[in-house]
């Protein structure tokens, strides 16, 4: 058994940090495209399955505590769904994203097809005030939790808009000043509380 063939077994057995370190070393020294390595793919899939389970546990515990998943930017604090599961179209979206702005990290691809869109923004009735700056967990790539955007709306529109804005900045200020394109996945802590803030959280590509 080669080192890579034992990764999944060791990862499940508790050696997560060691396995990730070996994968990073393998990626930097082997010259092999790790994206095509079935053992690396299995590790990333396992990690995202665990992430999905953890998100479900967090949501259940928050609900049991009386926490309300509501959108502070909507009139009357409209409830929203904290976890929108992937659909049959999610792999196609991930593929499009990779082709349009990629390559994107394998963890992003697997998050899209395994976990889905997560938005834990909300309030608790026992908090002293609404819209506290909790910086609640939000990881949304397909943005399917926003029914008010209307039928037929697609996250590709947001991605194309962000990409064009980045290109315009590069053309005006230069690539060295603007830096790499950041694929957004969440508003910053201020926007999550309906307060004007800064740029969204993103993954540099």
CA quadruple 21, 22, 23, 27: dihedral sign:
positive
For the chain, where are the alpha helices, taking DSSP H only? 7-12, 16-29, 38-64, 90-101, 106-110, 155-173, 175-178
Q: Which pLDDT does position 150 carry in this prediction?
A: 54
CA dist 69 and 162 (Å) reads: 27
Q: What is the pLDDT of residue 154?
A: 80
pTM of the model: 0.89
Assess contact for 47 and 14: CB atoms under 8 A: no
First to last CA, the chain: 34
Question: What is the full per-residue pLDDT of the chain (205 aa) written as tens digits?
Answer: 567 889 999 999 999 999 999 999 988 888 778 888 999 999 999 999 999 999 999 999 999 999 999 887 766 677 888 999 999 999 999 999 999 998 899 999 999 999 999 999 999 999 998 888 999 999 999 988 765 555 566 889 889 999 999 999 999 999 999 999 999 999 999 998 888 888 899 999 9
Q: What was the pLDDT predicted at 46?
A: 96
Rounded Cα distance, 3 and 19, in Å: 10
């Amino acid at each position: 058994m080669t080192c890579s063939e034992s990764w999944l077994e060791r990862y499940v057995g508790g050696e997560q940090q060691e396995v990730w370190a070996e994968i990073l070393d393998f990626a930097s020294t082997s010259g092999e495209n790790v994206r095509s390595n079935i053992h690396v793919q299995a590790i990333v899939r396992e990690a995202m399955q665990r992430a999905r389970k953890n998100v479900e546990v967090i949501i259940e515990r928050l609900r049991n505590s009386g926490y309300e998943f509501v959108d502070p930017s909507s009139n009357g604090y409209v409830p929203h769904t904290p976890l929108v599961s992937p659909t049959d179209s999610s792999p196609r979206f991930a593929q499009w994203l990779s082709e349009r702005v990629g390559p994107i990290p394998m963890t992003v691809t697997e998050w899209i097809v395994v976990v889905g869109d997560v938005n834990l923004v909300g309030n608790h009735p026992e908090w002293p005030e609404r819209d506290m700056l909790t910086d609640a967990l939000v990881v949304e790539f397909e943005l399917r939790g926003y029914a008010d955007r209307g039928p037929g709306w697609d996250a590709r529109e947001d991605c194309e808009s962000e990409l064009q804005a980045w290109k315009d900045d590069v053309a005006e200020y230069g690539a060295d000043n603007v830096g790499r394109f950041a694929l957004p996945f969440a508003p910053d802590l201020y926007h999550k509380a309906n307060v004007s803030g800064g740029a969204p959280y993103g993954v540099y590509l």
